[in-house]
Structure 1
Amino acid sequence: MANSIAIYGGSFNPPGTRHRAIAEMLSNNFDEVIVVPWAPTHDRRIRYDVAPVYRATMADMTFRGMERVRVELFDLDSDDTLPSSDLSKELGLIGDVWHVVTAQMCQGGKKGESAVHKEWQRGDAMWKQLQFAVVKNVDEEVDPDDLPPKCKIYATDRDGGNDAIRERIFHHQPVDDWIIPEVLMYIRRHALYSGAPQTRTTRFTLDELRPMIYADPYNPKSQEIAKQFPHEDRDHPNLIVVIGGDGTMLRAIREHWRLRVPFYGINTGHLGFLLNSDMPTELLGQALVLEQLSLLHVDTVSPGGETKTSLGFNEAWVERATGQTAWIEVRVNGRQRLCKLVSDGALVATPGGSTSYARAMGATPLPLSTPALLLVGNNVLFPTDWKPVLLPLDTKLEFRTLDPHKRPLMGYVDGVSHDEVHSMSIRVSSVAAVELAFDPHHDPAEKLARIQFPMPEGGA
């Protein structure tokens, strides 16, 4: 018998205890529940809306730790929402699939005037063909004639829809019963739904320390510092303490970004641009500075046409795979900007990665909070005197080899090889981001200045 799967789509803007209770109820009746936050739609303006990255973070927080429940962010990371009828195909689901809708969405169904009929692509056919899990309030009256031909009804006694939560937050009214504590803290520190501009730099105070320790296993100093955190909580951490260098931080981010808790770095490496310089005297009660930084979404296409998607924090690049120089076409937002870049390679870096490989190629390092990307060429022969370019954060870039047989390219994301590639597309992810935590006295500008103005050993 095929597993029964409930696809629970919605805006989850923000997700609340009602949504979590519905997911729990569904998980008791289905083998698997897949939560799919929808992408923003161009035809509906949402009051007090927030960027997709915040919605993705709150969804991961709200549904974390639930048995038989997982969150899929592919729709939220796209430009347009995928038709609900196509979600099962996108997820590769075959068998006993049910689509979760509210009873309000079924009103008018007997006349073909429900929200499913009007708003879903091929709504009339989907109404007749798909299986629906209809969620209603316990005291809500539902006309049986309004229901789809294939449906099951589930009732919840939880209040707190998206619109009501946003209104309460905007008017500074309590929402403690409607949102889980972690999400409420996240909303408050980023001033979400308040009408104020959302900022990438904020403050964060711990009243309880539940650290997950991620230490460089090859650095004795890292291991020694790790012993000073005897009470580790790997199941429910509220801070990921990374002990090592920038490379250790990159590995920690790659493995644990979806935990959606801040990363606090302690540098035992060299420069440690992404980490604090010293072991903290006290973390509890400190107003840590948080920098929310987005990851790169990278799609590579192999010579055989296979597409691979990955995420990077620092950079993504292509480089020559043989002794021949690379011939690379560079497109920016779909427009050809360099018809033939003759070089050893080309790279896109985030501000967090600007002090690494990009700097070695001649780019100027950027402060972490800079809303920009760096496009850099490696040993450029043509165009003559072409220099690194600073681009807006929402830029989409593509590298493509002009001669895959004689001048093949290798692809890399944060130093991880993607083997030979025909092309690489790079953009900032709409859903993947991390918060880096720094001590109040930490001065990233001073650390950056040490890179920009290097002093000789023993200098003043």
Structure 2
Amino acid sequence: MTQKIAFLASETPVAQTARAALIGRYGNCTPEQADVIVALGGDGFMLQTLHGTQALDTPVYGMNRGTVGFLMNEFSESDLPDRLIAAEEEVINPLSMRATCVDGTEHEALAINEVSVLRAGPQAAKLRITIDGRLRMEELVCDGALISTPAGSTAYNYSAHGPILPIGSDVLALTAIAPFRPRRWRGALVPKSANVVFEIRNPAKRPVMAEADSRSVRDVVRVEIRSEMSVAHRILFDPGHGLEERLIREQFV
């Protein structure tokens, strides 16, 4: 049975050219009609596609027409139907962020990679960290901190010297960004079920912003983060090149 495919692409010329060639070869339909969605671009576009189609419960197969392409498969025009049939599925749950601002407004967002809190002024941020209602750190002086999923652990988390997490692990990485006090503290592993709260100390003098997969909220005073188990993103990978293999391989380069 022929699969109905929806081809989505980033705005870059190379991605748009690839989309046109694939549509000419295999046809096209809307994401709502599709059996599978093929995303053409880089990791940023893959995240955009997953967020934009999360209500459809349709698997997404990425082909790299960007740069790093950690969440993508190699690009090829000729054998796509066979690759889609053979593809292996990974299911990941995003993080839920609820950010409270100085003016009392609340903002909610989902993040597939990470939620970060970052200083938004010249002075370091001062964060108070509570996990499952229990105070764990009275004051972290830093440029910021983040909570990362296993799928996002090779992204910003890894750049901040956080650990790479196996995709099947039931933990999240809590990683400090340029910590000053405690000087040698680099973070912790917390259960996937944990509810993590960052409270910002002296936000008028030390403003902080929150980001969920690069969607920003400024002037926050409190950021609550937890896994959103009600949302499941289905990502397809070529056999032997899934997230588990990529996460292991990344640690030996």
List per-residue Cα deviations over 1:367-410 (Å, max 9, x = no partner): 33332211011001111311231221111101111111111211
Q: Would you say the 8 A contact 1:373–1:391 is kept in 2?
A: yes
Equivalent residue number for residue 4 of structure 2: 210
Deviates more, 1:348-357 or 1:368-377: 368-377
> What is the SS of the residue equivalent to 2:218?
strand
Give 2:136's aligned residue.
337
SS in structure 2 opposite 1:286?
A: helix
Matched, 1:368 2:167: yes
Q: Secondary structure at the match of 1:258?
A: coil
- Structure 1 segment 64-143 matched on structure 2, within 5 A: none
1:446 and 1:453 map into 2 onto residues whose CA distance is 11
Aligned-residue Cα RMSD (Å) equals 1.7
User: Which one has more relative contact order, counting CA pairs under 8 Å at least 6 apart?
Assistant: 2
- Whether 1:306 aligns to 2:105 is yes
Q: Quick one: structure 1 residues 370 and 224, their matched pair in 2 at CA, closer, same or farther if it must change by over 3 Å?
A: farther
SS in 2 for 1:352: coil
Distance 1:259 1:443, change over 3 A: closer
Distance in 1, matches of 2:183 and 2:210, equals: 24
Please tell me whether residue 267 in structure 1 is matched to residue 61 in structure 2.
no
Structure 1 residues 428 and 443, CA gap change in structure 2 (3 angstroms) = closer
Distance 1:302 1:255 in 2: 25
SS in 2 for 1:431: coil
Partner of 1:229: 23
Counterpart in 2 of 1:429?
A: 228
Q: Which of the pair has more CA radius of gyration?
A: 1
Per mean C-alpha deviation after superposition, the further-off stretch among 445-454 and 292-301 is: 445-454
Deviation track 1:297-343 (CA, whole Å, cap 9, x = no partner) reads: 11000101111111111111111111111100011111110100010
- After superposition, what is the alpha-carbon deviation per residue over 1:83-123, rounded to whole angstroms, capped at 9, x for unaligned? xxxxxxxxxxxxxxxxxxxxxxxxxxxxxxxxxxxxxxxxx
CA separation in 1, counterparts of 2:241 and 2:131? Answer: 36
* CA shift digits 1:171-213 (9 cap, x unpaired): xxxxxxxxxxxxxxxxxxxxxxxxxxxxxxxxxxxx4321121
Where do 1:246-265 residues align within 5 Å? Answer: 246-265=43-62
Aligned to 1:283: 81
Q: Deviations over 1:26-85 (max 9, x none)?
A: xxxxxxxxxxxxxxxxxxxxxxxxxxxxxxxxxxxxxxxxxxxxxxxxxxxxxxxxxxxx
Q: Which residue pairs with 1:18 in the alignment?
A: none
Q: Which has the higher helix share?
A: 1
Task: Flag the 1:444–1:254 CA change in 2: closer, same or farther, 3 A.
Answer: closer
1: CA distance, partners of 2:51 / 2:247: 24
Unaligned runs of 5+ in 1: 1-206, 455-460
**C-alpha contact (below 8 Å) 1:362/1:388 kept by paired residues:** no
- Output the CA distance in 2 between the equivalents of 1:395 and 1:276: 32
TM-score (norm 1): 0.51
Deviation, structure 1 residue 251: 0.8
Deviation at 1:354, TM superposition (A): 0.8
Q: Among all aligned residue pairs of Structure 1 and Structure 2, give the percentage whose two residues are the same amino acid.
A: 31
Shift of 1:420: 1.5
Structure-2 separation of matches of 1:208 and 1:434 = 23
**TM-score after normalising by structure 2:** 0.91
- How far residue 446 of structure 1 moved from its aligned partner, in angstroms, is 4.8
Change (3 A) 1:325 1:422: same
| Amino acid of the structure 1 residue aligned with 2:14 | K
Question: For residues 69 and 168 of structure 2, what CA distance do their matches in structure 1 show?
Answer: 17
CA drift at 1:243 = 0.7
Deviation at 1:217, TM superposition (A): 1.0
Q: Which amino acid aligns with 1:293?
A: I
- Cα distance in 2 for partners of 1:269, 1:253 equals 16
Q: How many aligned residue pairs are there?
A: 247
Give the distance between the partners of 2:90 and 2:244, measured in 1 at CA. Answer: 13
1:379 aligns with 2:178: yes
Amino acid at match of 2:6: M
